[in-house]
Structure 1
Amino acid sequence: MASNSRTPNTGLAALLTQSKWSRSQFAQIINRMGAEAGLELHYDQSAVSHWVAGTVPKEQVRPLIVEAFARKLRRPVTHAEAGLPVSAQHRGAGSGPSGTGDPTDSTAAQGSSRTNTLEELVDMGRADMDPSRRSLIAAGLFSAAAVVPLFPDLAHAATPPNAAPGKRTVRIGAAQVQAVRTMTDRIADILDELGGGHARPMAAAFLVNTVMPWLKAEAAEPVRKDMLAAASDLVYLTGWMAMYERAHGLGQRYYLRALELAGAADDHVTYCRTLRGMSLQASNLGYGKRALEFADSAAEASPKAEPRLQAFLAGQQAHAAAMVGDKRQALARLRQTEAALNRADDRRESVGSYDRTGYLFHVSHVLYEFKDLPGSISALQQSLKAQRKNERQGRVHFLAVLAQRQLEFGHLEAACESWSQFLVDYEHVSSARGDEHFETMQRRLKPYEKTRAVRGLRPRISEIAVLKA
């Protein structure tokens, strides 16, 4: 009776079909790989048939099964895709926000933790690439109680993230690291100009198909760390896009994986930048206290940050402090932000950049939290003037916020003018946050339908509604 209640492993069956292996051939391959790993295995066709029927393979054999398919298909394959539970030895300590492993675990266990990080990224990225599955992974909830791994703990786990024993046939160098950084910059540019709806699937595809195999390849130690740092930047950017697209649970998962990669790379900058992103996410969702905790943690973890990063972090501290009503701290952080910006050079990074536009936006947020609506509107207007022309996605958000605050202040005609400018950029951007602003605009203008300003805007609203349908 027990055998009849098993659920067939359709994932394993599908991988066997893709690999064009018979069950007998697959058993022989697993036996050979077991010998590579120092295991004496004697599987045959019947064992594989039992696995396909739903019997779970032994714990030490599961990584061999996953690695066998990855080698044959020349792409990342995860335990989840193969329908297998992750081995306890693979879970390791601190492998996620709720890791409960012993902090004295061996280096091998810490390396296994990294493997679990990479496998989860492959599963997330593969689903993010597929429009039919994207809504499912985006449905996860944001956790205000997520435990953030500390940088020193993560840095101690910086061992090679190999998924299974055996020689690697691919070796990477500085050129591959630069390719990841260049692609990340290009994706950030596409995000600015066309929106996360276009850029995020590209980031996920590049992450799964190119970056993950390189993270498992052979490399000199400095190159390996550089690749982990470059991958962390890409994962941070992907998480930021997911957050911006209102997939907050997914964005948080990307952020946590970016922290782990940054720790393994000994990359303080991306670790702090990611924590700051998590603070922004918490503030967007109204968790002021949590936002301040994340922002303060980011600042504390970067004692030697260069001036632009200091400004980047202090600006978010100011916003979060205002959310919890701490006016003194908020204003002090704004002064700190402006002073740091004045010391910064003119270099602009594609990922995690911060300039006067961002500073003025933070000023606007702080003033708004303390009921200075005219000051908040003025700061937003100055921020928009300082924006670069190709930052279309940011301008969509800024203009929408400006219009809402102008309407709140009783300036209907000014709000309609801002919404008119919003529509010009929104037409070209694929953005869930832009969609949300569009819906808010229609709802907020409904009571004023008979006014001349709204009547003048109505044809353009109807036109955009048809284009976006």
Structure 2
Amino acid sequence: MDGIIDLGRLDMDPSRRSVLGVALFSVALTVPDWPDVVGRMEAAQMGVRSRLGMSDVHTVTAMTEQLSSMDDQFGGRTARPLAASFLVNTVAPFLKASGREDVRRAMMSAASDLCYLTGYMAVDEGLHGLAQRYYLKALELAGASEDHLTFCTTLRGMSVQAVDLRQGPVPMRLADAAAASSPQAGPRMRAFLAGQQAHAAAQTGNRRSALMYLQEAEVAMDKAESRGKVFGSYAPASLSYHTSQVRYEMGDVHGAVAAMEESDRLRYGIYRRTRVKERAILAERQLATGHLEAACKTWWLALDDYPLVNSGRIDQRVTDMFRLLAPHLKNHDAQALYQRARDIVRPELIPA
């Protein structure tokens, strides 16, 4: 895997102000040659804007929210090029503009959040080296703006990437660093961080720590839910997903299936990409427990949404589905699913 994370090069203190210069968005921020998609930003792109205002910060924040929603619904391959174009063509000129210190700091914080989101999209595409470069830029900007929330969120995102790639002890070190950088986290944020710590610990075989962190996430989630639901943040569906991952890593496949079914039941419908991915994972685990018909039904549901989602991670799950179904094609359900998949998935994914 290209660009393995070297923790020794990361500054874990988000209050440290790093040096920002004209190379802030350097060639490391590689983007395709996409046209500008934000028509009302011409002045910033041409360097006309000389004074930064809070309205510019609000623009970046609002655009980040829209891009995040697009990513949730349509996948990283659709949303990430748009985010990269916006970063280079609009946000970079904003960062070079003069303004009050508090406004400049707010802009760096907003840019940090967008860099994190863009890195997350790159992970979804399967562009892991590029994702890490976005993540490191997000850490740099979060440190410069003293944005503890984005700093620890980015470290956690790096842990998620590393655990998916099964990078040994790296995911645990990143998850712990994320938790350490947010000592005053509220209950929902604590659940967000502890859930990832649980998954990372389980993957390294540390059963005791995994169960401890999972319980901590459950307690924190109970406290967070009692204070009112927050739509769009770490929610019970996310905790059920982490519970499933922990159980699976510890060898409890039946428990992993039950928890993933609960995650699917609780997941808001707008998170289409996540729903497709988790249904594919659920189907794989249902098949592993010997429930072929249930697995076919779950894969069928995943395929309902598949044509609307452009995601490297989901394409890999589809490739795995074809491979796993191949020995079962004498079964009517498996044969019907296999044929349906051949009719709707991207041609390059269909077995020869």
1:147 maps to 2:8:
yes
Shift, 1:174, TM fit = 0.8
Matching residue of 2:111: 231
In the alignment, which of 287, 291, 299 is matched to residue 411 of structure 1?
291
Matching residue of 2:218: 338
CA distance in 1, matches of 2:255, 2:222: 22
Matching residue of 1:200: 80
Matching residue of 1:221: 101
> Aligned pairs, how many?
327
Matching residue of 1:171: 51
1:156 maps to 2:17:
yes
How does 1:59-78 map onto structure 2 within 5 Å? none
Q: Is the 8 A contact 2:191 2:218 kept in 1?
A: yes
1:278 maps to 2:158:
yes
CA distance in 1, matches of 2:227, 2:112: 21
Shift, 1:308, TM fit = 1.5
CA distance in 2, matches of 1:421, 1:300: 39
In the alignment, which of 310, 314, 331 is matched to residue 434 of structure 1?
314
SS at match of 1:427: helix
Q: 2:16 is aligned with what amino acid?
A: A
SS at match of 1:312: helix
Q: Is the 8 A contact 1:233 1:258 kept in 2?
A: yes
Which has the bigger relative contact order, CA under 8 A and spacing at least 6?
Answer: 2
1:420 maps to 2:300:
yes
Tell me the alpha carbon deviations over residues 263-282 of structure 1, each in whole angstroms, 9 at most, x when there is no partner.
00000110000000111111
Q: Is the 8 A contact 1:258 1:271 kept in 2?
A: yes
Matching residue of 2:248: 368
Q: Is the 8 A contact 1:364 1:380 kept in 2?
A: yes
Matching residue of 2:257: 377
CA distance in 1, matches of 2:14, 2:238: 32
CA distance in 1, matches of 2:230, 2:131: 19
Matching residue of 1:321: 201
Q: Whose Rg is larger?
A: 1
Q: 1:141 is aligned with what amino acid?
A: D
Shift, 1:467, TM fit = 6.9
Tell me the alpha carbon deviations over residues 139-196 of structure 1, each in whole angstroms, 9 at most, x when there is no partner.
x813143534224376232667698xxx996111111001101000000100111111
RMSD of aligned alpha carbons:
2.4
Matching residue of 2:281: 401
Matching residue of 1:304: 184
Where in structure 1 are there 5+ consecutive unaligned residues? 1-139
In the alignment, which of 90, 93, 98 is matched to residue 210 of structure 1?
90
CA distance in 1, matches of 2:280, 2:346: 19
Where in structure 2 are there 5+ consecutive unaligned residues? 25-46
Q: Is the 8 A contact 1:161 1:215 kept in 2?
A: no
CA distance in 1, matches of 2:66, 2:149: 20
CA distance in 2, matches of 1:400, 1:244: 15
Shift, 1:306, TM fit = 1.9
Q: Is the 8 A contact 2:15 2:144 kept in 1?
A: yes
CA distance in 1, matches of 2:229, 2:143: 21
CA distance in 2, matches of 1:283, 1:445: 26
Matching residue of 1:7: none
SS at match of 2:309: coil
In the alignment, which of 174, 187, 190 is matched to residue 294 of structure 1?
174
Dislocated runs of 4+, deviation >4 Å: 158-163, 345-352, 466-469
Q: Is the 8 A contact 2:77 2:124 kept in 1?
A: no
Taking a change above 3 Å as real, the CA distance of residues 346 and 459 of structure 1, as seen in their structure-2 partners, is farther
CA distance in 2, matches of 1:171, 1:294: 37
Taking a change above 3 Å as real, the CA distance of residues 273 and 338 of structure 1, as seen in their structure-2 partners, is same
Matching residue of 2:40: none
CA distance in 2, matches of 1:178, 1:346: 30
